[in-house]
Amino acid sequence: MKATELKSIFHKELDDIYGRNEVESFFFLCTEFYLDLPRFQLALQPEFTLTKSEYDDFFNALEKLKQQEPIQYILGETEFYGLKFKVNKKVLIPRQETEELVDWILSSVTSSVAEKSFRVLDIGTGSGCIAISLAKNLPNAEVFALDVSEEALEVAKQNAEINEVKVQFLKTNILDEDRWNLIFDNLEFDVVVSNPPYVRNLEKKEIKPNVLDNEPHLALFVEDNNPLQFYKAITNYAINNLKPNGHLFFEINQYLGNETKQLLLNLGFVDVELRQDLNGNDRMLVGVRSGVIPEKSGIKK
């Protein structure tokens, strides 16, 4: 079967579900993954023909796509910040807005600081995309990452090996504040970053089926009556364990930008900035711990 014929089948079966442009993307992701054939090369070889075993892989992928399984889970990998990451249904698929968060963190780290001892903590690491991308681009940094899911940590450890970086992974519940200092032995960090669960149950109707039916709800959803519970716990930790002038970065719920910003301000963070993603949604937040060392403090859960 010619590749052009196979591509036409993809469009015929999937365009009504995803739209033509996204189906085009799916097809070329498959050609790169299954055939190691980049898009431009296929354009130069319009008569390129697949063997039966080769096009069987495509038809298997096609059937899963018709069931709205994400292409990243079908292929078992994705790209994030120029790096390759393994993914499965135990971890969220890394997204563009999280790349924007990583880029913001890296742009805030001056060269003079990066050359010295620099310590980063990623809370709720999932696939490890944030921690690993930071470790790759800050080679002198000491990077820690934690998650409550053992299965997610196994994926993250594989990704650290693939990308040849050292990250110290830890299993713990980020809401169990009594364990913080037991785990880290009173370490202080230059950067704390988190992309915690933030989608309220009331927002499920906005979630596409390919996300709702496949990605881990543990990493997505929070109760409607306490949507900032993870942000409260992490902010409590950060105000006491960031170095003076250290930074706390969050990815946030676009509908709760002002509430999340006020959370940091109430606890004494300064230079708090709410930033929009490329789609114009309130999606990222940073706060700086004051140079004045506070007494141990906290806010109600």
Give the CA-trace dihedral at 277, 278, 280, 286, to 10 degrees. 20
The pLDDT of residue 99 is above 90 = yes
- Structural contact between residues 119 and 188, judged by C-beta atoms closer than 8 angstroms: yes
pLDDT computed for residue 38 by the predictor? 87
- Structural contact between residues 122 and 194, judged by C-beta atoms closer than 8 angstroms: yes
Domain 92-288, classified CATH 3.40.50.150, yes or no: yes
Q: How high is the mean pLDDT of the chain? A: 91
- What is the spatial distance between Cα 184 and Cα 96, in angstroms, rounded to a whole number? 30
The pLDDT of residue 112 is above 60 = no
Average pLDDT over residues 254-283: 96
| Other residues' Cβ atoms within 10 Å of the Cβ of residue 134 | 24
73 phi, psi to nearest 5 deg: -75, -35
Confidence of residue 115 (pLDDT cuts 50, 70, 90): low
Confidence of residue 301 (pLDDT cuts 50, 70, 90): very low
Average pLDDT over residues 249-255: 97
Query: Residue-wise over 115-124: b if at least 16 C-beta within 10 A, else e?
Result: eeebbbbbbb
Stretch among 39-48, 145-154, 179-188, 254-263 having the lowest mean pLDDT: 179-188
For every residue of 221-282, DSSP letters joined together read EE-TT-TTHHHHHHHHHHHHHEEEEEEEEEE--GGGHHHHHHHHHHTT-EEEEEEE-TTS-E
pLDDT computed for residue 161 by the predictor? 98
The pLDDT of residue 253 is above 90 = yes
Average pLDDT over residues 269-294: 90
Q: Indicate the domain borders of the chain.
A: 3-67, 92-288
pLDDT computed for residue 183 by the predictor? 77
- Structural contact between residues 257 and 286, judged by C-beta atoms closer than 8 angstroms: no
The pLDDT of residue 272 is above 50 = yes
Q: Are strands 118-123 and 199-200 parallel, antiparallel or unpaired?
A: unpaired
- What is the spatial distance between Cα 72 and Cα 88, in angstroms, rounded to a whole number? 8
Average pLDDT over residues 119-146: 96
- Percent of the chain clearing pLDDT 70 (strictly above): 94
Average pLDDT over residues 123-146: 96
Helix H or strand E segment including 85: strand 83-86
pLDDT computed for residue 3 by the predictor? 93
User: Closest Cα partner for 264 from 255, 253, 273?
Assistant: 273
pLDDT in tens, 48-97: 999 998 989 999 999 999 999 999 999 999 999 999 999 999 999 999 99
Q: How far is CA 106 from the centre of its chain?
A: 15
Considering only CA atoms, give the Rg of the chain.
21
pLDDT computed for residue 61 by the predictor? 97
Confidence of residue 109 (pLDDT cuts 50, 70, 90): confident
Helix H or strand E segment including 190: strand 189-194
pLDDT computed for residue 113 by the predictor? 62
pLDDT computed for residue 43 by the predictor? 83
User: Closest Cα partner for 266 from 231, 218, 225, 299?
Assistant: 299
150 CB contacts (<8 Å, ≥6 apart)?
Answer: 171
- Percent of the chain clearing pLDDT 90 (strictly above): 77
Q: How far is CA 82 from CA 108, 137, 200, 279, in A?
A: 19, 11, 31, 20
Stretch among 15-29, 188-202, 283-297 having the lowest mean pLDDT: 283-297
- What is the spatial distance between Cα 74 and Cα 91, in angstroms, rounded to a whole number? 13
pLDDT computed for residue 236 by the predictor? 92
